[in-house]
Amino acid sequence: MAEPESGKFDVDDFAAELRGEPNRVVGTTVLLENDRVRVWEIRLAPGERAPFHQHTTTYFFVCVDPGRARSRFPNGSYVDLDYTAGLTWFSEHSETEPEIHDLENVGETILRFTTVELLR
């Protein structure tokens, strides 16, 4: 994976998304859900963006179709990463310490992940 690039953005541009009820939709399509896991597909065309959402459970994702994405965070920072096919990432979160971010495809190809939320 290439070195990430980071910077700042104006949080006010996304104020409506960051106010109100937390968004817990972390993908494009639910592929499977039971009492133990929720499996999502995330599929973003170039320029497409998944809005700010919360991860309130431990999860992992695998990059299926590679590309470049930007994740913004509520503190006004962002990071751009190049994702390679097969890249796998594990992250622990909870209701009391959620991860909040958006995801935008800033590359030139369709970007696709499979994300698995561990529900218990």
User: Residue 4 — very low, low, confident or very high, per pLDDT cuts 50/70/90?
Assistant: confident
Q: What is the DSSP letter of 16?
A: H
Torsion 23-29-34-36 (CA) sign:
negative
Q: Is 17 helix (H, G, I), strand (E, B) or coil?
A: helix
Query: What's the CATH number where 17 sits?
Result: 2.60.120.10
Q: What are phi and psi of 92, to 5 degrees?
A: -100, 130
For residue 46, pLDDT over 60 is answered with yes
Q: Please give the tally of structural domains in the chain.
A: 1
Q: Each residue of 56-91: pLDDT tens digit?
A: 999 999 999 999 999 999 999 999 999 999 999 999
Reply yes or no on whether the pLDDT at 98 is more than 80.
yes
* Token pair in block for residue 74: 């509520």
Least confident of 1-5, 36-40, 84-88: 1-5
pLDDT reported for residue 7: 96
CB 40 within 8 A of CB 29: yes
Buried/exposed 42-78: b ≥16 CB within 10 Å, e otherwise? bbbeeeeebebbbbbbebebebbebbbbbbbeeeeeb
Range of the domain at 80: 5-118
- Rounded to an integer, the average pLDDT of 86-106 is 95
What's the pLDDT score for residue 3?
Answer: 79
